[in-house]
Chain A
């Protein structure tokens, strides 16, 4: 920014600086949206099952907080199980596939095309195969996580610059050394991009797969049931919990990324 010679402000942050802090505007929006939501509900009084007020959702959340967190945990465990299996298999497959150009040319189009397939719609088949319990959800999440992880990892493993590979070859580096010292580090940003996408995919996959059926102490089934008996505030409270788990999962992966790739933090774009 070439502003190193600019004088530092002497009296601490000014009024202008306060409004420019990154959390001020979002916080303002949050408060304004909640307040106007509450106000609009108060004025127009739509039926509660249609649009409950934030305070009503809050009451529902506070009233059954532990139960909802428990349901959320059950759903999160499905998501996590599918995430670990799907991303793990995706990584392994990618390592095998990336070794052969013919194989990756053959398989990548299928893997990319799978992006356009509504995989959650296959939940009924997963239920037939793995039962109505959590394993059918784990299976769906695993399939949903597999393809993006595999595609990104293959791209990452093949993204090392040919010059660097040639250099390592000229120093008689073994294939294993090239893999661990060059290909893996250059693949990590791609891998973590996929993993971050998969956190969201896995929570969504688990909840939507639960819409097809399952036990009551899971978020997706709870939401569907409460919505169908018009207990909308309960369903909204469950969604707040789902968002909490989704965000926590996402930031856990971000932390892992910072820990494994300390050099990458300074280069992040946004």
Chain B
């Protein structure tokens, strides 16, 4: 993370001195203030209608507007939790299976040679477009509604985990590998003692990508007609009622954004706890 963005000759104390923190904090406060000023200023200056850009107060008001089922913010949090649950199930399935597949690819070169090009190609290809079909298909089979969203989230988690974990498993020091071989270590021992630890930083790089991707996947899965719960549904509702309640659409999107950031932050936090020996660049 804390890469030194040095210009020539300048000493970079990678950032924990209190003075630096104070400057950054000040910068953020100024930035947020600026955003608010630009937001309200351009609204007044260009007479932007509420349905395009509501007042910040309107967004805040939308959060606290009462509904038959409780205040709006409570409803939104419940929907966000539902989406988080869908994403978490998918994230877990996707990362576990991704890890296992990567280990398989590492061990069996032929399997890897056959499948790896497709794993890589899947990153450059918009296969996420199958999302509506997964939703419709599993729905018609009578599966619980969250399952299709979890499948999409698992799909988005799977590929970055395979690619990064494989890279990590292969990233072992050549000398260490030769040393273990010379002591007649078995493949399993080499895997457990050498490759597994080497792969963990790479795994977390993938998991951070996947954390947000799984939330996106769950939200995309909630878009097709027929979904009833989740923050994606609320976004669609918000866009339909935007002219009546212009703050609400923004409120739903703010909650979705926070959800993504919290998911990312939780993985980043776990990484700090677990990976103490090597920080990969983010």
Q: Hey, which chain B residues are within 8 Å of A235, CB to CB?
A: 129-130, 132-133
B212 and A118 form a contact (CB under 8 A)? yes
Known pairs A110-B31, A125-B250, A212-B223; A247 contacts B8 (CB<8 A):
no
A51 and B282 form a contact (CB under 8 A)? no
Q: Hey, which chain A residues are within 8 Å of B128, CB to CB?
A: 204, 207-208
CA gap between A81 and B253 in the complex, in Å: 24
Chain B residues numbered 109-130 whose CB sits less than 8 Å from any CB in chain A: 110, 113-115, 117-118, 121, 123-130
Q: Hey, which chain A residues are within 8 Å of B8, CB to CB?
A: 162, 165-166, 169
From A124, A155, A232, contact of B3 by CB (8 A): A155
Q: Hey, which chain A residues are within 8 Å of B225, CB to CB?
A: 228
Interface residue tally for chain B (C-beta within 8 Å): 65
Q: Number of A-B pairs whose CB atoms are under 8 Å?
A: 170
CA gap between A247 and B118 in the complex, in Å: 12
Q: Hey, which chain B residues are within 8 Å of A26, CB to CB?
A: 113-115, 117-118
Q: Hey, which chain B residues are within 8 Å of A246, CB to CB?
A: 124-126
Q: Which residue of A lies closest to B212 (CB)?
A: A116
Chain A residues numbered 24-62 whose CB sits less than 8 Å from any CB in chain B: 25-26, 28-29, 47, 49-51
Q: Is A250 part of the contact surface with B, judged by Cβ < 8 Å?
A: yes
CA gap between A155 and B115 in the complex, in Å: 33
A105 and B5 form a contact (CB under 8 A)? yes
Known pairs A105-B24, A162-B6, A169-B8; A29 contacts B118 (CB<8 A):
yes
Q: Hey, which chain B residues are within 8 Å of A243, CB to CB?
A: 125-127
B140 and A208 form a contact (CB under 8 A)? no
Q: Which residue of A lies closest to B209 (CB)?
A: A115
Q: Is A223 part of the contact surface with B, judged by Cβ < 8 Å?
A: yes
A121 and B256 form a contact (CB under 8 A)? yes
Rounded to whole Å, the gap between the CB of B90 and the closest CB of chain A is: 14
From B113, B121, B224, contact of A247 by CB (8 A): B121
Q: Hey, which chain A residues are within 8 Å of B215, CB to CB?
A: 118
Known pairs A118-B219, A118-B257, A212-B223; A232 contacts B133 (CB<8 A):
yes
Q: Hey, which chain A residues are within 8 Å of B175, CB to CB?
A: none
Rounded to whole Å, the gap between the CB of A2 and the closest CB of chain B is: 15
CA gap between A22 and B224 in the complex, in Å: 40
Q: Which residue of B lies closest to A32 (CB)?
A: B114
CA gap between A238 and B128 in the complex, in Å: 12
Q: Hey, which chain B residues are within 8 Å of A127, CB to CB?
A: 239
Q: Hey, which chain B residues are within 8 Å of A230, CB to CB?
A: 136
Rounded to whole Å, the gap between the CB of B165 and the closest CB of chain A is: 15
Q: Is B263 part of the contact surface with A, judged by Cβ < 8 Å?
A: yes
Q: Is A203 part of the contact surface with B, judged by Cβ < 8 Å?
A: yes
Q: Is A216 part of the contact surface with B, judged by Cβ < 8 Å?
A: no
Q: Is A227 part of the contact surface with B, judged by Cβ < 8 Å?
A: yes
A247 and B125 form a contact (CB under 8 A)? yes
B124 and A200 form a contact (CB under 8 A)? yes
Q: Which residue of B lies closest to A197 (CB)?
A: B123
Q: Is B161 part of the contact surface with A, judged by Cβ < 8 Å?
A: no
B115 and A207 form a contact (CB under 8 A)? no
Rounded to whole Å, the gap between the CB of B229 and the closest CB of chain A is: 16
Q: Hey, which chain B residues are within 8 Å of A247, CB to CB?
A: 121, 124-125
B125 and A242 form a contact (CB under 8 A)? yes
- Please name the 7 residue pairs, one residue from A and one from B, whose CB atoms are nearest each other, closest first: A124-B239, A116-B264, A25-B114, A227-B132, A29-B114, A25-B113, A250-B124
Subset of 21 A-B contacts with CB under 8 Å: A22-B113, A26-B117, A29-B118, A49-B137, A102-B23, A116-B212, A116-B260, A116-B261, A118-B215, A118-B257, A127-B239, A196-B124, A200-B125, A211-B132, A223-B129, A227-B133, A228-B224, A232-B137, A239-B126, A242-B125, A242-B129
